[in-house]
Chain A
Amino acid sequence: MNKKIRKIHLGKKVNCKKSCSPCKLLSMLTLVLIFLIIQISTISSIGITPGRTSFNYEPNAHKEVSFSVVNTENKDMSVVLFVRGVLNGSVILNRAYDEFSSTDGSKSFVYSLTMPPSMGAPGLYETEIVALEMPRDLQSSGTFVGATVAVVTQLHVYVPYPDKYLEGKMEIISDDDGKTLFFLPVVNRGKLDIVSARATIEIYTALNEKVATVETDYTSVNSLQRAELIGEWIPNVHPGKYLAIATLIYDNEVSEIQKEFNVGEALIEIEELYVNDFSLGEIAKFNALVNNKWSNPIKDSYLNILVYNNDGQVMADFKSPNYNLGALSKSEMVAYWDTAGVHKGTYDGKLVLWYGVKSTEKNIELDISENKIGVSGITGRVLVRGKSEGLGTNTLIIILIGVLIFVNVIWFIIIKKFMRKKK
């Protein structure tokens, strides 16, 4: 569609005034394009925060909980709210329907919870408050048919265990220096205090090989209270996906938490790009050697090569098929370009390697002759151009002070020598 519109402009260089026929055609095409875009990208969206609220059970306790429904895409919509789950008879919503306009970023709601006088076995009792997105005119139209999206804010009520019961989860955070922190927020869901709790975290590769063991400190956790166990790891392994298995050890009891995490980022490098057995006007076969430095296989990776003419316009845009790249290995990818109509010369180009939502880009230069395509820029020197920052005020002051101190020292030395001589 874009190409068609472009041709009208480029072919005739029309000076667009009120009702010239190319303009009409252009307007119609634009309308069709807009219609198609609307058809393709209709979005239903909704958010809710917080995702969860937790309480420990207390007979007949009354709680008020506020939450917000978020109009993520800032559009007109209706929201229907309802409660379900074990305690749905004990939860009352302040309103079950609301309308959002495009200017409403979010709206607050409140539900009240009155805990029953008694509850069953110890453990978790789940209730859910569901917010369902509907079209804005729902009340007038009455019905709606089509895809729907709903989000849930959970209400968790815990009835304490009579003994010691440590519940935890694991969060894994990596910083720029590669340091990985294992955060284990733990809650004692039991009625007895825990004197000593710690965790041992074992880290495994995708091939189930243990690469490290991390120990956390010891901590005590009083009944129904929360604590944090923290382990720190400086990875000395290939970038990739790893599995952390944390064993929680508390007063002779043991429980386990598992979580997958990444070390570094998926990285593929293009090491070589060459064309063999080429004749101008025929199909050129581009072979690329790519190195997967990620310690897991990467699926559906492909090459995209763009060639620009002397005016900087894209004169060729071709892709390779999709490839599955093995972990920590080099693979060859092939892309074909039909060079019919292409003249000899030097052309700028761009080589893009796509893997998942990520990509690696390299600017290349193609030197096309009768029976050869030379590619440069793949292993060439990388030139970083940037605006150099000028000296800041503070830096200038520091330099000035330094100079003053230096001058004064010299001055003192000279004066002292002069005075001694005089004496």
Chain B
Amino acid sequence: MKKRKIKTGRKVLLAEGILVMGALIYLFVSMNPTAISPIAGKTIFDPDFSFEVENGEEVWVSIDVVFSNPIVLKEGSFVDLPPGTYYWKVKNWLRESEVQTFVLESNVGLNLIVGGEKNKIENVGNVDLEVTEKNAGITSSFGLGSGDSADVSKDSELEGKQNE
């Protein structure tokens, strides 16, 4: 009788051990942080893009593969990255993802909004621009930061190029 009880106890213990091990393995696999987007090696032209991750708490971005001076981003973070090549990975409290890389390519973009007394020019690219305005034989130029806008004369010829 006693032996049977002990055997049953051992069986329960074994079953529990298997259950705990299984759960731990599942946790280890399912909590693997994954870097989804931008995909490895992608070249990005858009001034606005977002990191897509799975099971991650932090996104680490760096200009070198060893992450010597990382930029640490959390959900909802915003950061202005200059054009260049970047390495990134996702971290959670337990593990971190593989290191991915992406290239942020410089993008020169101008929007001219026509209307009102003056037209408005917007820098919709990801680099600061030098904008040249030609109107009635007069040429002038001004700097326009990424995301900034400025009033310009009607019927101007406008040209934008990377500033630095």
Contact = CB atoms under 8 A, between A and B. Distances in A.
Interface in A173-199: 173-177, 179, 181, 183, 185
B119 interface: yes
Contact of A45 (B31, B71, B124): B124
A175 B72 contact: yes
Interface residues of B, number: 54
Interface in A212-243: 228, 230, 232
B65 to A, nearest CB: 12
Interface in B66-83: 68-69, 71-74, 77, 79-83
Contacts of B137: none
Nearest to A36: B115
Interface in B94-133: 105-116, 119, 121, 124-125, 127
Nearest to A405: B20
Interface string A30-68: 000000000111111111111110000000000000001
B81 A173 contact: yes
Contacts of B27: 394, 397-398
Interface string A383-423: 00000000001100110110011001000000100000000
B155 A42 contact: no
A51 B125 contact: yes
A295 interface: no
B68 A230 contact: yes
Contacts, number: 151
Interface in A139-173: 145-154, 169, 171, 173
Residue among B19, B82, B156 with most chain A CB within 10 A: B82
A365 interface: no
B16 interface: yes
Interface size class of A (residues with CB under 8 A): 35 or more
Nearest to B112: A44
Nearest to A181: B69
B112 A45 contact: yes
A128 B69 CA distance: 35
Given A47-B124, A51-B161, A185-B84, A72 B109 contact: yes
Interface in A357-400: 393-394, 397-398, 400
A176 B77 contact: yes
B151 interface: no
A148 B159 CA distance: 8
Given A147-B155, A183-B63, A173 B82 contact: yes
B106 A49 contact: yes
B156 A174 contact: no
A39 B20 contact: no
Contacts of B74: 176
B107 A49 contact: yes
B109 A45 contact: yes
Given A45-B124, A150-B158, 11 more contacts: A50-B107, A51-B125, A51-B161, A147-B154, A147-B155, A149-B160, A151-B109, A175-B72, A394-B30, A397-B26, A404-B20
Interface of A: 39-52, 68, 70, 72-73, 106, 128, 130, 145-154, 169, 171, 173-177, 179, 181, 183, 185, 228, 230, 232, 393-394, 397-398, 400-401, 404-405, 408, 415
26 contacts: A41-B115, A42-B114, A43-B113, A44-B114, A47-B108, A47-B124, A50-B107, A70-B45, A72-B109, A128-B161, A130-B159, A145-B155, A149-B158, A152-B159, A169-B164, A171-B82, A173-B82, A176-B77, A177-B72, A181-B71, A183-B63, A230-B63, A394-B27, A397-B26, A401-B20, A408-B16
